[in-house]
Amino acid sequence: MKNGHAPEIRNTRRILSIACATALAAAFAASLPQPARAGRVTPPPVPASIQVPAGNTAFLVGHAVGTQNYVCLPSATSITGFAWTLFTPEATLFNDDDKQLITHFFSPNPDPLDPNTNPAVVADGAIRATWQHSRDTSTVWAKLHVAPYTDADFVAPGAVAWLLLERVGDEAGPDGGDVLTATTFIHRLNTAGGLAPSTGCAVASNIGNQAFVPYAADYFFYRGPDSGGDDAN
Summary mean pLDDT of the chain: 86
- Please report whether residue 229 resides in a domain: no
Number of domains within the chain: 1
Q: Note whether residue 64 is domain-resident.
A: yes
**Residue 153 located in a structural domain:** yes
| Alpha-carbon distances of 70 from 32, 87, 168, rounded to whole Å | 24, 6, 24
233 found inside a domain: no
Range of the domain at 32: 10-36+60-223
Question: Is 7 a residue whose pLDDT tops 50?
Answer: no
- CA-closest candidate to residue 93, choices 3, 179, 220, 184: 220
More confident residue, 40 or 72: 72
pTM for the predicted model, two decimal places: 0.83
The answer to whether residue 3 sits within a structural domain is no
Tell me: the pLDDT tens digits for 119-177? 989 999 999 999 999 999 999 999 999 999 999 999 999 999 999 999 999 999 999 99
The tens digit of pLDDT for each residue in 55-87 reads 999 999 999 999 999 999 999 999 999 999 999
Q: Which helix (H) or strand (E) holds 10?
A: helix 10-19
Report the C-alpha gap between 30 and 158 in whole angstroms: 13
3-state secondary structure 55-91: CCEEEEEEEEEEEEEEEEEECCCCCCCEEEEEEEEEE
> What pLDDT score does 14 carry?
42
**Residue 111: pLDDT above 90?**
yes
Residue 14 lies in a domain: yes
Asked if residue 59 lies in contact with residue 36, where contact means CB atoms within 8 angstroms, the answer is no
Domain-embedded: residue 41:
no
Least confident window among 3-7, 98-102, 159-163, 167-171: 3-7
The pLDDT assigned to 29 comes to 38
47 inside domain: no
Distance from chain centroid for Cα 11 = 19
